[in-house]
Amino acid sequence: MSGSFPPRDSMAASPDVSVIIVSYNSEHLLPRTLAALQAGCGQLRLQVVVVDNASRDRSVELLKRDFPNVELIENTTNLGFGRANNQAISRARGRYVLLLNPDAFVSPDALPRTIDFMDDHPRTGVLGVKLVDENGRVQPSCFYFPTPWNVFVRMSQLDDLIGAPSFVERDTASLRACDWVPGCFYLIRYEVIKTVGLFDPRYFLYFEEIDHCRSLRTLGWEVIYYPFVQVVHIGGESAKLSANDLEGNQRALALLAESEFLYYRKHHGISGVLASAFFSMLTDVVRALKRLLFLRNAQAARVALNHLLLVLKVLIQTRMGSRPVH
């Protein structure tokens, strides 16, 4: 696929879409991601920017060798998802910006149809699409803003048991305005970026798009879930952990807790942070008791209690969500 995207200078005036891909150890994914983009762009002019977040594999060598027309930003340290996207925005020249994960593969009609929709609906600031796994199973694709309660409902499976509402919208067949859509396919009008900005740099990973959607909706822009095209999303490939990578798994859980506390402190105050910590630890206690008393699995019970201690540690480190750690 070498040279499959148009030369940079031929697109310098007016690309339709600037595609930003933040890559970390994604050598095995990037050829498929970029091939799907090329096959699915139709008549659209694309500018493709890949930010490599200090990968340990040969992602950079692959891009330089096989995709010379892709604009590459090489970071010497891992900046995280939001900061790396922010870094690439200064290069964006398109009317629209698509944030695309390296493990998200667009269908042939995804870009033309979503761009046509955005052109026809000028108040749409951000658009997301139906996400499916490799087997075609629909993934959660549109959401309500999280609160300590609706996250607890989801994590404790009360939404399944008693039908209590959680932060996940179950209807994935209907076009609708929603609160937020996942960042693995996040189509933004460039005008929104000029008005709202992009991601709060305090988030290293997780909650960036939730916070961003909240900001743009406050200013009157719409977030739209568009279910008429699909994107295959593997999920977690860039940071896939082996089953024995306890340290890496703990880091991912700590980053999630950190971003959650930062978000709640920003939008719900200290009471939101404390409620989030309480419900999280309550869930861990319930899980530990179930695994110990009903499953007779002491190891699984310890995992739940270790997560409780991790949440408490992050709560202290972030000073109750008032500062980032990473």
48-63 pLDDT, tens digit each: 999 999 999 999 999 9
pLDDT of residue 5: 56
Give the tokens for residue 182. Answer: 């996942």
Q: Of 94-108, 215-229, 239-253, which gets the smallest average pLDDT?
A: 239-253
What pLDDT, in 10s, does the model give residues 70-92?
999 999 999 999 999 999 999 99
What is the 3-class SS of 232-297, one letter each residue? EECCCCCCCCCCCCHHHHHHHHHHHHHHHHHHHHHHHHHHHHHHHHHHHHHHHHHHHHHHHHCCCC
What pLDDT, in 10s, does the model give residues 278-313?
999 999 999 999 898 888 899 999 999 999 999 999
Percent of the chain with pLDDT over 90: 83
What is the band of 156 on the pLDDT scale with cuts at 50, 70, 90?
A: confident
The answer to whether residue 323 scores a pLDDT higher than 50 is yes
Average pLDDT value for the chain: 91
* Residue range 153-161: mean pLDDT, rounded: 78
Q: What residue segments make up the domains of the chain, in order of their start?
A: 8-233, 246-317
Instruction: Pick 47 or 167 by higher pLDDT.
Output: 47
CB-based contact 23:54 (threshold 8 Å): no
The answer to whether residue 237 scores a pLDDT higher than 60 is no
* Residue range 140-164: mean pLDDT, rounded: 85
CATH architecture of 8-233: Alpha-Beta Complex (3.90)
pLDDT of residue 67: 96
CA dihedral sign, ordered 73, 74, 79, 81: positive
